[in-house]
Structure 1
């Protein structure tokens, strides 16, 4: 069985990445294709779903060049979470997909949380509906674009939209863990949540386990994967989990992508505000959360100062730990886990006339690390365990400097894995398991993932402890100002581009 090939796809925020793997986890080929984020208003972010399909075609064509004429036996997809596409009876999108970064549903989310607390307090106690969750998004569409809501047959995640087209499914499929904001502790749709939006329940896909086969690729113009088994796939956190080899109690991961995704696996679950604790899969709970800006903060800063990211990283390396006591708050589009605050915004604090571009560059890297530490501390509470290290992947993990900063700030070793495209590897492992090509998912992940380098915490961690305490105080101190500014933003008319 060693000769089979599998394809793993990670449908991300700025690009779709694909990897061609053998069953030992060796990366035989990798490709990616980008697409723009559409921003019709500062607090809105959208994608054209057709761009995902075009990107997939381009990526699969590029991967075919590494396959030596062979066909892949299976294909799996993981995708960004809390991005929603509304499709009609033919599976065609009725409007641009609403991206996870989008904050248009903040007020509706508050309203629905109050209603849920009054009607179903037990369900309300499990988690708070964030503006990016499916229920507030659906209610926004029902109110603001009723004609589109009326024509909507299905509310899909990006990977559900893609698998529906790949397999030409009449009825779309999704996975239970990827639909975490809609399901109960058994992984079934929660009637209390569905009752918040009239007609939502009839517009949702059938739920499957993430490695369940849902069809085969029917597109003949994709020879690499024609006839390949396609599994339901999952959200990015779970794809990266298996692609990082995190399969045992007490293991953890850090994915340095557009946002930071952190996760801890454990046999226990201790309800903790701000953390998503999934129902048990194969005896383990994943406690996870995404921040709002990781690599996005670095990309924003590089764009603002007009420098390539490589130059920003090089400048940051010339400055010592703490950036001469300047702190960056990375909440450029609000914050997700663990704050779930759509009003807070970013900024630099502590700047003086002696601070330079290099100081600000390092402060950005450190600010992202502080937000990761905040989330990681809450994940440890939810999991009831203190992991010995974090498995690191994603584009940001390729910076030795950033890995070392995170090791010092989190006071944990950062173990960078060999295949940085952990979402692609995880999706490929799901596909291999679903197609029966491997004996077990956890065993296959353990065999496939290898650590490339470990960054140990150094002497700077004590100084970072002091700065982190200030970072945490800044949120509470500035919260009233952020609320006032959010009120002013709401008074500004929204003019949508044609």
Structure 2
């Protein structure tokens, strides 16, 4: 197919609905960033693990950001061909028949459904809390199983069913965040199957045709008619609703694809579409991922291959709960004004942070262990440690945690990895990518790393329209810098990793005890 000079005049919009903000970006067909806009919205926190957001605040942020992009760009908006949507997933929004939310969005950080999941998965005989026959069916059909933390979509729905029966009974459909935005853009309801896997009621054995599996629907006790129809992430759901075009100023011919979650979308954004080409993302959370040609499960390290956004492929999502959120917490606590100051402070310290070790588990952990009781902190803090030591220790602690997951990831894919392609807000730092050489591997960063998921959504939209192929997507990768691992620091970081792991093993039961009080 190839990208020609004539085709460069076609444009695509990616909407990235993140946990803290919505980023909307306009790209040319060769992946060049033309315009962008960001809007922020808050978390709604409460007791017992409550973490919610207002879905109408999401929609307001999307509209405002789209309007900004349309207003501030100098291109002919009639040359915008399609919109792709990505962002946070494992969210749950109950809507009525008119598409109105019946409750706030229960997002991926919410753990109120953990008791429902414990009842759902339990029984005798069991392995790791899962009754063996249930676990076998989940692994055989879906490739995984519900996490015990209660953060999956299925846990949210069961929590609503058992604790808010009036809302459950009034619900027409339960949507994820991406599905909700697609519905608001088009007026049509559809669910991309890559995000729907966390309902744990889909048959994922054919990545080209994911469908609901009736025995699993009966097991979890959710009526099929309360779930949206499943479609491929590259499916064209429809054109923009006339009301939206009038309000925002976009032409009505623009198509909207079903889209996908941020985790399967970000490797597309960095052009990592080949099998085993590994992508590392550091945002609020972090993940390591790649595309693979097989379906496989590792229940002991919470890793599985799931249907990808790309037809016929599986991908391996190894997601960790704490990354950029640790740095944000540090900035707020130490009154650090921006990320440039973070890098400056980090340079005032030394490799190894003068013996200071940071444990990044502010929200528990998902992989390579699922443990909601883990908590973060500093170990070996001395009166001599500076603000720079604290900042650098946070960056190193996140990197050590990534190494922990990376080792399980390598065993899972059973394939050599020569480099990782890094994106997300963490890749904007000139320090953090070098610290990631804790993995003892080459780190490649890309230009405009904050927008890689939005870019992935835009490129997926172009793919859905048939105007680009996978080679075209791969050619849109724009390398910023290459970081080689430092041989001089190998011994230091290897020893610090051993201390990191010893701290976890020696203190995990203590953290469980204090967090169960």
Task: Give the secondary-structure state (helix, strand or coil) at the position aligned to 2:137.
Answer: helix
Change in Cα spacing, 1:398 to 1:225, as seen in structure 2 (3 Å) is: farther
1:202 corresponds, among 221, 225, 234, to 225
Q: Provide the TM-score with structure 1 as the length reference.
A: 0.93
Structure 1 partner of 2:4: none
1:260 corresponds, among 270, 286, 292, to 286
**Larger CA deviation: 139-148 vs 471-480:** 471-480
**Larger CA deviation: 307-316 vs 422-431:** 307-316
Structure 1 partner of 2:3: none
1:135 corresponds, among 116, 134, 154, to 154
Structure 2 partner of 1:104: 112
**Across the two proteins, how many residue pairs are aligned to each other?**
483
Distance in 2, matches of 1:143 and 1:268, equals: 37
**Contact 2:21–2:40 (8 Å) recurs in 1:** yes
**Contact 1:262–1:288 (8 Å) recurs in 2:** yes
Instruction: Check if 1:76 corresponds to 2:84.
Output: yes
1:450 corresponds, among 478, 495, 500, to 478
Structure 2 partner of 1:493: none
Structure 2 partner of 1:148: 167
2:335 corresponds, among 292, 302, 306, to 306
1:461 corresponds, among 490, 493, 499, to 490
Cα offset, 1:118, TM superposition: 4.8
Cα offset, 1:12, TM superposition: 0.4
**Contact 1:266–1:385 (8 Å) recurs in 2:** no
RMSD of equivalent CA atoms: 1.8
In the TM superposition, what are the counterparts of 1:36-435 in structure 2 within 5 Å? 36-41=42-47, 43-64=49-70, 65-71=72-78, 72-114=80-122, 117-125=131-139, 126-130=143-147, 131-169=150-188, 172-181=189-198, 182=200, 183-185=202-204, 186=206, 187-218=210-241, 219=244, 220-273=246-299, 274-279=302-307, 281-310=310-339, 311-406=341-436, 408-420=437-449, 421-435=451-465
Q: Write the deviation string for residues 247-306 of structure 1: whole angstroms up to 9, x where unpaired.
A: 112201011111112102233454323113114754543111221111111001111222
Distance in 2, matches of 1:60 and 1:465, equals: 46
**Contact 2:10–2:28 (8 Å) recurs in 1:** yes
Cα offset, 1:134, TM superposition: 1.4
Distance in 2, matches of 1:282 and 1:46, equals: 32
Distance in 2, matches of 1:481 and 1:444, equals: 51
**Contact 1:138–1:200 (8 Å) recurs in 2:** no
Distance in 2, matches of 1:377 and 1:155, equals: 36
Change in Cα spacing, 1:345 to 1:192, as seen in structure 2 (3 Å) is: farther
Structure 1 partner of 2:23: 17
**Contact 1:416–1:452 (8 Å) recurs in 2:** yes
Q: Provide the TM-score with structure 2 as the length reference.
A: 0.89
Change in Cα spacing, 1:23 to 1:132, as seen in structure 2 (3 Å) is: same
**Contact 1:252–1:391 (8 Å) recurs in 2:** yes
**Larger CA deviation: 189-198 vs 252-261:** 189-198
Cα offset, 1:189, TM superposition: 2.1
**Contact 2:92–2:157 (8 Å) recurs in 1:** no
Distance in 2, matches of 1:391 and 1:225, equals: 35
**Contact 1:254–1:391 (8 Å) recurs in 2:** yes
**Contact 2:267–2:290 (8 Å) recurs in 1:** no
Distance in 1, matches of 2:39 and 2:307, equals: 34
Distance in 1, matches of 2:118 and 2:248, equals: 45
**Larger CA deviation: 285-294 vs 14-23:** 285-294
Task: Give the secondary-structure state (helix, strand or coil) at the position aligned to 2:280.
Answer: strand
Distance in 2, matches of 1:175 and 1:288, equals: 17
Change in Cα spacing, 1:262 to 1:437, as seen in structure 2 (3 Å) is: same
Cα offset, 1:91, TM superposition: 1.1
Gap runs ≥5 in structure 1: 489-498
Task: Give the secondary-structure state (helix, strand or coil) at the position aligned to 2:45.
Answer: coil
Distance in 1, matches of 2:515 and 2:117, equals: 16
Q: Write the deviation string for residues 351-409 of structure 1: whole angstroms up to 9, x where unpaired.
A: 22222222111111111111211222222222121321111111110001011001x21
Structure 2 partner of 1:478: 507
Cα offset, 1:154, TM superposition: 1.3
